[in-house]
Amino acid sequence: MNSSNESHSAQIGDSIVSDWLVIDQEHLSEFGHSTYLDPAYVDLSVSKNNALGPTLVDGFMLLSLLVYFDFANPVAHVEGGYGFNYGFDRVRFTEPVFVNEAVRVRRTVVAIQEKTPTRTLITYDITLEVQREEPVTAMVARWIVMTIDGASEGAAQA
């Protein structure tokens, strides 16, 4: 069921493209530290068969950047509300991204499903591009976010 919920501002077809964000070594190292990642997994210079070149950005770091891009430029705004990561239907990493390259995200609303009067699932098609001579698609995903109208939900529970 696709519907339009008045508690959020999203409409099917709404799309937004972020600004470019450079992924630096400091943030990659912090991501590796926070996920207990062995540096050898992201530093391809450790390998003698260094086919991909300099330091590779982990795909899960790229995926985690969706939260940053969503807060920086929300597609759906819920006044007095908030969103939760509900999950992904699919994720594909289609091009390697390296330290000091810039990425941007295009998000398009593809489905809106009201679960309750105060909770709505919003599904986005995501394309993450890496800046090269021409932008290249590095990741595609279908992301589902549960938006909750906190003010209304709180009043209903009171």
Would you give per-residue pLDDT tens digits along the chain (158 residues)? Answer: 334 444 456 788 888 999 999 999 888 877 777 777 666 665 555 544 556 655 788 899 999 999 999 888 877 766 777 888 999 999 999 999 999 999 999 999 999 999 999 899 999 999 999 999 999 999 999 999 999 987 666 555 54
Residue 7 lies in a domain: no
Task: Please state, in angstroms and as integers, the Cα–Cα distance from residue 61 to each residue in 10, 34, 48, following that order.
Answer: 26, 11, 24
Residue 139 lies in a domain: yes
Residue 2 lies in a domain: no
Neighbours of 153 (CB within 10 A): 17
* Confidence (pTM): 0.80
Q: Which domain holds residue 89?
A: 15-157
Residue 112 lies in a domain: yes
Residue 5 lies in a domain: no
